Structure 1
Amino acid sequence: MDELVLFAGNSNPLLASRIADYVGKPLGCAKVTNFSDGEIQIEIQENVRGRDVYIIQSTCKPVNDNLVELLLMLDAVKRSAARRIAAVIPYFGYARQDKKVAPRVPISAKLAADMLMAAGANRVITMDLHAGQIQGFFDCPVDNLYAAPVLRDYAKRVFGATPEDIADLVIVSPDAGGVERARAFAKRLNADWAIVDKRRDMPNKAQAMAVIGNVSDKNVIILDDMADTAGTLTEAARALDEKGARSIHAFCTHPVLSGPAVDRIENSPIQTLVATDSIPLSKEALESDKIHILSIADLVGEAIIRSHRGDSVTSLFV
């Protein structure tokens, strides 16, 4: 482990600190400053020659600043003769733009992947990519971890203490795209699952149409990979409430929670939103009694240790 060095950008210092504690290595010294016009300046203040470097940075809001900061840190350690360089990106920004949905639009996720590799990344550790095929955008190994084990353990503690509790639990996908995720999660809990059929009229706006499955007098968990404006979650929650759900909770990996998201959650039938610390919460979200955060630091830290040692990370995907 002496050859392993951890650095962190400014996007999520608390998570980076927790990961460093799990790995048992202090965060390396990296000076991140800005010129008066906003340009980012990076200075790596310790020797990384011939060492394995892991740079922890979620490309969350402000997305472009955090992405450029990560790119510059990668370039800095590459030019400092690091042996291997891994970008640890708990939340991968631009992941929703993974294909052409109209003429003359970019595939932004592919461009972001190309920039990361050009900057020097020869391994990527990330979590719950919006689309699994984004792994193929990289010409280097990608470990796409899942927060499901962390969320599942919490669900067992809170909702699955007895077989009767499990019998009353339903895992719900808020749209057709999340069916596989909800089904796998329900299988590991031995719970039922259902789908909310959703029609999206424009970006960041969703309208729930129908519930496929029995949720009447059931404890419901809506499972999604991210909550951005929370339109999908809250519309799904209202549809489930109308179908007679006993209690409604939402689980997601990435609490983007932009725009009116927190207000929507506060004014919805959702009783709790359980998310991970892949993205730091805004002040408004931190003050909400409905939002509960679980840490993925141990999961990411274990992936870093196994990657450095050359061990398998397969068990972390279960």
Structure 2
Amino acid sequence: MRGTLIFAGSSCPALTAQLCENLGTRPAKAELSQFSNGETSVRILTSVREKDVFIVQSGSPKVNDTIMELLIMVSACKGGSANKITAVLPYFPYNRQSKKKSHRGAITARMLANLLIMAGVKHVITVDLHASQMQGFFKCPVDNLHAEPLIARWIRHNVPNWREAVVVSKNAGGTKRVTSLADALKLNFGLVTTEKKRGNMSSSMIMNPLDNFQRPPVLESSTRDKQTPASRDEPLDQEVDGPPPDTVVKSRSRVRANSQGSPERTVDVGPRAADRNRSDDCSNDRSVTPTQQRNSSSDGAEDSEYDDGRAHEVTQARLVQGHIVDDDFPSPSTSAADGSVREEPDPMTMSHASSFFAPAPDALGGSGDGGGETDDEEATLKDPKIEHTVTLVGDVKNRTVLLVDDMIDKPGSWIAAAETVVKKGRAKKVYCIATHGVFGGDCLEQLQNCECIDTIVVTNSFPIREEQVKNITKLVILDLSFLLAEAIRRNHYGESISPLYQHIVD
């Protein structure tokens, strides 16, 4: 391509070389080094005057060094009178910090976007941002490419019996991404959620809240308008005839239209009183049970039937130290790691500390948007004193499960979800699929050693060291160079990039 220069950052030289080969060109020459005190030095060794410059730099384990290197390269090209500078970031650094995690937290992704704009970037090309709303942080156009068509194509060609597979999200936040892939492949989808197990008192209050509490009588304005003068003089609260004095329950009186349209007075009885006094209420013309009200009501809109039973295809399991345990496994709340028995906390203290009475302090005043950091979640899953409850929604029995998310950083949630669908859902195979393979710490080794995981699929958006993948047999790396090369070509010639988002079935 004439009038175009592509520079490679130190984070992904192999990806840039493959990208340039697809475009029929070579990476432009630049000298990248560091001084003895750690400062970054950049020298552009070719003329960039009036050229369309693309700088390929992705996040890496040395993320702060790569960011400074990118900013200095952009500034150097701007000083060299480049016509347009485009930053190609296959993995956008700090993209998980796109919202406040606490009241005094920083939105680091927005700060990095401002730095790029101030350095001289006129266009940004990236892949699968953690939150697509991040495009609003920039004051320049952003092409947020998707690896979904590439992943879907790999699934169709490499997963046996993929038409019977189920796409599963390992957390509630990834449901939109999972449903998009499921729709593209025309597959069913499921969900795995993990939460801390609540105390007995808290659970009982949440599952059966305030059973003995009687609501005060409510008289709607429409009811007052329909009442006759004689009915207005009658008391609203009337005792139900039949039960003993110690079990008398006050009920609420209403005026409703019967099948002929005439007003008729009824008394609503609570479910417990109705069960105890079913035989006595049949002879009482002033009170009827909720079932009788539904049968006698003309429209039935207000008294629609409901079923509070557990939904089908919902499986729950216990999670201790990041692994699924049997139902008879001793709870961490009653036994410590050394075998000694700890005292049970006061039930009233547990109830008042539960989320029913006092919701846990959340970022932005309890909006629920500020989730915990990945490291914090990993530490909580591995804590031997904390038990979690894992819920699987969906039918995965004797099927292949595709666990999908945007990145793989820590192994805890992936292993927990894989064990849930295999040990509790009876799935046949599990594919862990993500766009960005960050693999912090010994994540890759733990995923390799997990018996419930069969294959790990990521792209080369994030550089993976050769020593990391030396003994890893489950890892599959998809190439993004063709996607990025086509995006660069279309951007240079002013063509639409919409075809890059489409799924092509071959």
TM-score by length of 1: 0.95
The answer on whether the counterparts of 1:171 and 1:191 sit within 8 Å (CA) in structure 2 is: yes
> Secondary structure of the equivalent of 1:22?
helix
Which residue of structure 2 aligns with residue 253 of structure 1? 435
Which residue of structure 1 aligns with residue 458 of structure 2? 275
Which runs of 5 or more structure 2 residues have no equivalent in the other structure? 196-370, 382-388
Which residue of structure 2 aligns with residue 227 of structure 1? 408
> Secondary structure of the equivalent of 2:27?
coil
The answer on whether the counterparts of 1:59 and 1:66 sit within 8 Å (CA) in structure 2 is: yes
The answer on whether the counterparts of 1:110 and 1:137 sit within 8 Å (CA) in structure 2 is: yes
For 2:25 and 2:407, the matched residues in 1 are separated by 30
Which residue of structure 2 aligns with residue 156 of structure 1? 156
Larger deviation, residues 229-238 vs 178-187: 229-238
- AA aligned to 2:418 is A
Find runs of 4+ consecutive structure 1 residues off by over 4 angstroms: none
Which residue of structure 1 aligns with residue 447 of structure 2? 265
| Pair 1:301-2:485 in alignment | yes
| Pair 1:196-2:192 in alignment | yes
For 1:197 and 1:23, the matched residues in 2 are separated by 43
Q: 1:187 to 1:305 in 2, by over 3 A?
A: same
> Secondary structure of the equivalent of 1:235?
helix
- Cα deviation, 1:201-247, whole Å, max 9, x if unaligned, reads 76333557111111111101101110001222111111111210110
Number of aligned residue pairs? 314
| Pair 1:217-2:398 in alignment | yes
The answer on whether the counterparts of 1:171 and 1:182 sit within 8 Å (CA) in structure 2 is: yes
> Secondary structure of the equivalent of 1:284?
coil
> Secondary structure of the equivalent of 1:285?
coil
Shift of 1:5: 0.6
Which residue of structure 1 aligns with residue 335 of structure 2? none
| Pair 1:175-2:171 in alignment | yes
For 1:232 and 1:132, the matched residues in 2 are separated by 23
For 2:407 and 2:51, the matched residues in 1 are separated by 34
> Secondary structure of the equivalent of 1:96?
coil
Larger deviation, residues 26-35 vs 286-295: 286-295
- AA aligned to 2:501 is F
The answer on whether the counterparts of 1:176 and 1:198 sit within 8 Å (CA) in structure 2 is: no
TM-score by length of 2: 0.61
For 2:71 and 2:411, the matched residues in 1 are separated by 30
> Secondary structure of the equivalent of 2:130?
coil
- AA aligned to 2:455 is T
Larger deviation, residues 282-291 vs 2-11: 282-291
Which residue of structure 2 aligns with residue 65 of structure 1? 65
For 2:141 and 2:96, the matched residues in 1 are separated by 20
Counterpart selection for 1:285 from 460, 469, 474: 469
* Percent of residue pairs identical: 36
Q: 1:248 to 1:66 in 2, by over 3 A?
A: same
| Pair 1:56-2:56 in alignment | yes
> Secondary structure of the equivalent of 1:229?
coil
> Secondary structure of the equivalent of 2:70?
helix
Shift of 1:264: 1.7
For 1:83 and 1:137, the matched residues in 2 are separated by 23
- AA aligned to 1:232 is S
- AA aligned to 1:80 is G
The answer on whether the counterparts of 1:11 and 1:66 sit within 8 Å (CA) in structure 2 is: yes
The answer on whether the counterparts of 1:166 and 1:190 sit within 8 Å (CA) in structure 2 is: no
> Secondary structure of the equivalent of 1:225?
strand
For 1:313 and 1:114, the matched residues in 2 are separated by 25
Larger deviation, residues 125-134 vs 198-207: 198-207
Shift of 1:286: 4.1
For 2:469 and 2:439, the matched residues in 1 are separated by 8
Q: RMSD of aligned C-alpha atoms?
A: 1.4
Which residue of structure 2 aligns with residue 45 of structure 1? 45
For 1:64 and 1:230, the matched residues in 2 are separated by 24
> Secondary structure of the equivalent of 1:99?
coil
Aligned pairs for 1:108-123 (under 5 A) are 108-123=108-123
Larger deviation, residues 205-214 vs 18-27: 205-214
For 1:178 and 1:270, the matched residues in 2 are separated by 19
For 2:163 and 2:90, the matched residues in 1 are separated by 33
